Homo-oligomer: A and B are copies of this chain.
Amino acid sequence: MHRLFPSLRIDVNSGLYVKDPESSDLGKRIVSEGILLIHELGFESFTFKKLGLKIGSNESSLYRYFENKHKFLLYLTSWYWGWMEYKLVFTTHSLPDPMEKLSTAIQILTATTEEDGAFTHVNEVVLNKIVINEFSKSYLTKEVDEENRNGYFVIYKRLVSRISEMIQQVNPDYQYPGALASTLLEGALHQHYLKEHFPQLTECGSSTSPAEYFLDLIQRSLS
């Protein structure tokens, strides 16, 4: 996929960074190594000091790119959803049949991320794992309403809207397209988490994928 748009850039809300990390080598290293370190330590134990140490840079330098680790997480997850949106729009754009379009969308959104490499400094496979483990923490905060007003969640919201619209195209009479779309996005992350840590709670696992479950669920809901 990366050969098609070599200069593609995902437009994350500029309030999420102090200085654009795409604008320098250090910024890119913060992002790429930050992804790996959050994955390794978990978000709670992750600190800028540790990241500075890992990339051989000074803690104070990292603060010139991101105000704090919460905004860093918002940046990474926004980037992830922007990347998903790009894949979704690109792949489904030319599909004429609404159900085929929606099915393709579900597959993209619920699949385990494979190597992509469109953005050399971002390891999308690890980023996907971070999103599964940490995305909820980015909005389950006391500051959510203000941050929402600041536009920090626009990409995610737009993505839910897109799915919602696809659902309406398939069945204009269905009463809960938004609820179903939001259940799909959030539920997909949840099923991936369960298959890793609570396998007894779901059929999703080695032989059945979250994609199959959600495809079935949505087909039944809209028929």
Query: Using a CB–CB distance below 8 Å, which chain A residues touch chain B?
Result: 41-42, 44-45, 133-134, 136-137, 139-142, 144-145, 148, 153, 157, 160-161, 175-183, 186-187, 190-191, 193-194, 197-198, 200-204, 208, 210, 213, 216-217, 220-221, 223
Contact = CB atoms under 8 A, between A and B. Distances in A.
B44 A193 contact: no
A221 B221 CA distance: 6
Given A190-B186, A221-B217, A198 B148 contact: yes
Given A160-B201, A176-B217, A182-B190, A42 B133 contact: no
Given A176-B208, A183-B191, 18 more contacts: A44-B141, A44-B142, A45-B142, A136-B140, A137-B137, A144-B197, A153-B198, A157-B198, A161-B201, A175-B203, A176-B202, A176-B216, A177-B203, A179-B203, A179-B204, A179-B210, A182-B194, A220-B221
The count of identical subunits is: 2
A200 to B, nearest CB: 7
Q: Is the interface of A mostly helix, strand, loop or mixed?
A: helix
27 contacts: A42-B142, A44-B141, A136-B140, A140-B193, A148-B198, A161-B201, A176-B202, A176-B204, A176-B208, A176-B213, A176-B217, A177-B203, A178-B201, A179-B191, A179-B202, A179-B203, A179-B204, A180-B217, A182-B190, A182-B198, A183-B183, A183-B191, A186-B186, A186-B187, A187-B187, A217-B217, A220-B220
